[in-house]
């Protein structure tokens, strides 16, 4: 006969994100002149007891004396704590309701604020073990029930000895007093709960670490609110991805590894194993060979606009979704282009260099305003269109050319051919994407077609422009000024020398691929890309993926979601539905979208089904990847 299992869970910094007495101090000491000093004393006493460095009973007495709390302070405390329940506790409410007979809250806190919080999650009042306050006639908290075992040092041990639970006992908590239960031989295992606070001395004593309740449930094969613990998702971020992205991934519970520079193909093949999410910028190349080493890769985040550094077709074959940031840094690129246009028209860079050399070259020769000049924009996407608007505001006359039909903004004029634009424009600015067919699209023939003395900018992709042709156009005077931000080859790190034939040329602005490198843009990208990735992992939404069929899914409610990625061949959907029908699975909703390489099927089903359906779904012919969301 199987033994009963009991799950003992702490309250402060475990069930809730905070220490309740610390929060009570924030309320009861409001208006006190030395509030911050007193609160720090309370926190020091709390940490001392939780880390096993001081007497719990003595510390509890001192904390209550410092609090100067009254019964009336408990209501706002409870209201606050209701908003501070740990995220993984909130999403696993069903666990507490289903296993209510075997879940015990054992806390050195107080029932007066614990009971209203935990009973909302289905925990039985008789299974709540905690201290109780003593009040005077005015409702002031003057102490605690000294007959209660939990007010004593090693009080949790004494309580568990008295309860004498018959079965296996597992303890989940953040403090030393939780560890003591296992130390005394009264529990099978102690799990250090680190979702809210990490106490190194407690982690060192733990049998295992639970970064969330999901990890604890996963290890015990108990039903969870998510498919698998989020701490099992490993994220590898390269090329100094913005700290905002690191923060968001960590908050989600993922395991993060960061690398400051780009990695070579060999290095990435070595590092990609067991990685679920890869984050890169423009230098790292994700090749088919890299993907062959990626045994757990779910998605790639390009923390930039372009994705030509990623083999998108190979990603589809591997069932890897790719997300980028098509709009987050457009303003930054446009502002740099506007600034460079003005500086080049005024020949300001060369004059600045001379000033640093002590040469005073005050002359209007070759210096012109941008007003009334004709700006030719090649590529009228999100960057080109926004440049068009700002340039018009400066009084420029805007022409554009794009192979895709685009609706012009403001008074911009569309050119039917690239040659037509080049013959008109005083200033030419490139803003095309990095697709292979654009390689070398702007060379000697295009420079020859430009007006004599025109200005040229490339803030798009390095391989688009034939650099020797640009150099010759500058030296001959055909192009009287140029700004280049992107190059066919770019240094992998800041320590590598930049080598280019463009160096030293007159009236040429060279920038190290910083078009989108502003604090605002990088923070926007650092927020946007993780949000798309987490949405894909958590719900299956592929909206705004650059390679996957785009599906925007409804919220998952009271169902399990089956996510099936397969080769786009006939009969797969029929086979999927045959598996579901054969196992008498009730379908609540089904969504399918395909592209020329893959099909993406999402099926929401009733929670009650034979688990063998999962294995059968994985064996459907042409399956690339399959996963399930709870």
Q: Round to whole Å and give the CA distance between 407 and 385.
A: 9
Q: Round to whole Å and give the CA distance between 18 and 26.
A: 12
Element (H, E) at 480: strand 479-484
Enumerate the CATH 3.40.50.1000 domain ranges in the chain, comma separated: 5-220
Q: Round to whole Å and give the CA distance between 193 and 9.
A: 10
Annotate 569-584 with DSSP letters as a single string. Answer: -TTHHHHHHHHHHHTT
Q: Where are the beta strands (DSSP E) in 270-422?
A: 277-280, 299-302, 321-323, 374-378, 397-401, 413-414
513 is catalytic: yes
Q: Round to whole Å and give the CA distance between 630 and 625.
A: 17
- Choosing from 234, 242, 271, 461, the catalytic residue is 461
The CATH number given to 5-220 is 3.40.50.1000
- Choosing from 281, 431, 480, 513, the catalytic residue is 513
**Domain 554-629: CATH superfamily, name plus number:** ACT domain (3.30.70.260)
In angstroms and rounded to an integer, the radius of gyration of the C-alpha atoms of the chain is 32
Q: Round to whole Å and give the CA distance between 112 and 71.
A: 9
How far apart, in Å, do the first and last CA atoms of the chain sit? 30
Give the contacts of 146 (CB within 8 A, at least 6 positions apart): none
Enumerate the CATH 3.40.50.720 domain ranges in the chain, comma separated: 230-323, 336-510
DSSP strand pairing (560-567 vs 623-629): antiparallel
Closest to 173 measured CA to CA, from 16, 392, 404: 16
**Domain 336-510: CATH superfamily, name plus number:** NAD(P)-binding Rossmann-like Domain (3.40.50.720)
Matching residue, tokens 């690239």: 418
- Residue 87 DSSP SS3: helix
DSSP letter (8 states) at residue 558: S
- Choosing from 490, 523, 535, 616, the catalytic residue is 490
Q: What's the confidence (pLDDT) of residue 44? A: 86
| Tokens at 551, concatenated | 């599906």
Name the stretches of the chain with pLDDT < 70. Answer: 1-2
Q: What's the confidence (pLDDT) of residue 2? A: 60
Closest to 4 measured CA to CA, from 160, 168, 123, 142: 168
- Residue 67 DSSP SS3: helix
Q: What's the confidence (pLDDT) of residue 1? A: 47
Enumerate the CATH 3.30.70.260 domain ranges in the chain, comma separated: 554-629
289 is catalytic: no
Q: Round to whole Å and give the CA distance between 226 and 231.
A: 12
The CATH number given to 230-323 is 3.40.50.720
Q: Round to whole Å and give the CA distance between 203 and 175.
A: 9
564 is catalytic: no
Annotate 114-137 with DSSP letters as a single string. Answer: HHHHHGGGT--GGGEEEE-EEE-T
């Amino acid at each position: 006969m199987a033994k009963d299992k009991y799950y003992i869970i702490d309250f402060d910094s475990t069930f809730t994100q905070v220490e309740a007495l610390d929060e009570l101090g924030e309320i009861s000491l409001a208006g006190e002149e030395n509030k911050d000093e007193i609160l720090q004393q309370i926190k020091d006493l709390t940490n001392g007891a939780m880390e096993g460095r001081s007497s719990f009973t003595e510390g509890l007495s001192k904390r209550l004396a410092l609090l100067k709390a009254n019964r009336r302070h408990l209501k706002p405390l409870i209201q606050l704590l209701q908003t501070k329940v740990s995220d993984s506790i909130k999403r696993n409410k069903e666990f507490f309701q289903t296993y209510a007979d075997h879940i015990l809250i054992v806390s050195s806190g107080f029932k007066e604020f614990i009971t209203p919080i935990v009973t909302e999650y289905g925990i039985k009042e008789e299974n709540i073990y905690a201290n109780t306050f003593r009040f005077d006639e005015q409702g002031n908290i003057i102490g605690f029930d000294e007959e209660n075992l939990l007010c004593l040092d090693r009080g949790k041990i004494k309580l568990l000895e008295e309860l004498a639970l018959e079965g296996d006992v597992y303890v989940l908590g953040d403090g030393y007093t939780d560890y003591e239960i296992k130390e005394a031989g009264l529990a099978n295992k102690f799990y250090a709960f680190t979702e809210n606070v990490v106490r190194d001395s407690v982690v060192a004593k733990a049998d295992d670490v639970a970064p969330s309740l999901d990890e604890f449930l996963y290890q015990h094969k108990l039903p969870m609110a998510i498919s698998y613990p989020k701490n099992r998702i490993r994220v590898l971020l390269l090329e100094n991805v913005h700290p905002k992205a690191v923060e968001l991934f960590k908050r989600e519970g993922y395991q993060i590894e960061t690398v400051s520079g780009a990695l070579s193909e060999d290095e990435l093949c070595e590092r990609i194993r067991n990685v679920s999410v890869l984050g890169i910028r423009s230098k790292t190349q994700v090749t088919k060979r890299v993907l062959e080493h990626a045994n757990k890769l779910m998605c790639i985040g390009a923390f930039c606009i372009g994705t030509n550094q990623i083999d998108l077709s190979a990603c589809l074959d591997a069932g890897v979704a790719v997300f980028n940031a098509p709009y987050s840094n457009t303003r930054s690129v446009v502002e740099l282009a506007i600034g460079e246009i003005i500086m080049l028209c005024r020949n300001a860079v060369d004059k600045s260099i001379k000033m640093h050399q002590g040469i005073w070259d005050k002359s209007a020769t070759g210096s012109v305003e941008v007003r009334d000049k004709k700006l030719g924009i090649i590529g009228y996407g999100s960057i080109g269109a926004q440049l068009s608007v700002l340039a018009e505001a400066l009084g420029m006359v805007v022409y554009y050319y794009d192979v895709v039909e685009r609706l012009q903004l403001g008074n911009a004029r569309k050119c039917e051919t690239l040659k037509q634009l080049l013959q008109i424009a005083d200033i030419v600015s490139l803003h095309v994407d990095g697709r292979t067919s654009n390689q070398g699209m702007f060379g000697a023939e295009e420079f020859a077609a430009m007006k004599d003395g025109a200005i040229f900018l490339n803030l798009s992709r390095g391989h688009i422009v034939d650099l020797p042709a640009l150099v010759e156009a500058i030296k001959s005077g055909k192009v009287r000024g140029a700004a280049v931000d992107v190059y066919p080859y770019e240094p992998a790190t800041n320590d590598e020398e930049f080598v280019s034939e463009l160096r030293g040329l007159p009236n040429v602005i060279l920038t190290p691929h910083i078009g989108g490198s502003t604090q605002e843009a990088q923070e926007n990208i650092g927020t946007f890309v993780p949000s798309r990735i987490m949405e894909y992992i958590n719900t299956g939404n592929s909206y705004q993926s650059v390679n996957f069929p785009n599906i925007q899914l409804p919220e998952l409610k009271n169902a399990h979601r089956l996510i099936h990625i397969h080769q786009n061949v006939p009969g797969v959907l029929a086979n999927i539905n045959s598996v579901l029908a054969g196992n008498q699975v009730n379908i609540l909703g089904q969504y399918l979208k395909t592209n020329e390489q893959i099909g993406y099927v999402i099926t929401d089903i009733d929670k009650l089904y034979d688990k063998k359906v999962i294995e059968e779904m994985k064996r459907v012919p042409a399956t690339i990847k399959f996963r399930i969301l709870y």
